[in-house]
């Protein structure tokens, strides 16, 4: 009995250590996903500001489609603020992927604007 108790305590200590490391890794992955999501949101916002400036330079400020995209970005940021800690990693990665796709779309549209400008000049 005396030999079993130390082994049992050692096994419990090992299990507790393993569990603590697992929780710490999960927390680190969540924080990394949130950080990447915020970076993607910042990059999209930067591209949207550039797009807005380009469109206003070409077409004026009356009909600028960037406004809706900026509002969508604000909604994503508010969602993140309210839900980041409870969201699954899959949800966080999905939001980040959507932001990256939106930024790529804006980049393509800005390239079209640049080509149109070059053709008109």
Concatenating the DSSP letter of every residue in 41-68 gives HHHHHHHHHHHHHHHHHHH-SSS-THHH
74 within 8 A of 45, measured Cβ to Cβ:
no
Q: Is the pLDDT at 117 greater than 80, yes or no?
A: no
Label residue 5 by pLDDT band (50, 70, 90). Answer: confident
Count of domains in the chain? Answer: 1
Q: Which of 81, 104, 101, 105 is nearest to 93 (CA)?
A: 101
pLDDT at 68: 77
Residue 113 covered by a domain: yes
pLDDT at 64: 67
**Model pLDDT for residues 13-68, shown as the tens digit of each residue:** 888 888 888 888 888 888 898 888 889 889 888 888 888 887 777 766 666 667 77
State the Cα–Cα distance between residues 85 and 34, nearest whole angstrom: 9
pLDDT at 71: 83
pLDDT at 95: 87
Residue 48 covered by a domain: yes
State the Cα–Cα distance between residues 65 and 3, nearest whole angstrom: 74
Please state, rounded to an integer, the average pLDDT across all residues of the chain. 82
Residue 36 covered by a domain: yes
37 within 8 A of 94, measured Cβ to Cβ:
no
Residue 4 covered by a domain: no
Q: Is the pLDDT at 102 greater than 80, yes or no?
A: yes
pTM of the model: 0.66
Q: Is the pLDDT at 80 greater than 80, yes or no?
A: yes
Which domain does 61 fall in, by range?
Answer: 32-120
Q: Which residue has the tokens 């930024």?
A: 103
Residue 60 covered by a domain: yes
Residue 8 covered by a domain: no
Residue 15 covered by a domain: no
């Amino acid at each position: 009995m005396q030999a079993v108790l130390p082994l049992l305590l050692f096994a419990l200590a090992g299990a507790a250590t393993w569990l603590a490391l697992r929780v710490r890794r999960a927390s680190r992955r969540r924080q990394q996903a949130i950080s990447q999501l915020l970076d993607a949101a910042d990059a999209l916002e930067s591209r949207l500001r550039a797009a807005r400036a380009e469109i206003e330079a070409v077409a004026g400020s009356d009909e600028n489609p960037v406004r809706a995209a900026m509002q969508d970005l604000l909604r994503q940021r508010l969602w993140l603020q309210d839900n980041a800690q409870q969201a699954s990693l899959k949800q966080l990665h999905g939001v980040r992927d959507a932001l990256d796709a939106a930024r790529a779309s804006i980049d393509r549209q800005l390239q079209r604007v640049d080509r149109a400008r070059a053709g008109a000049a």
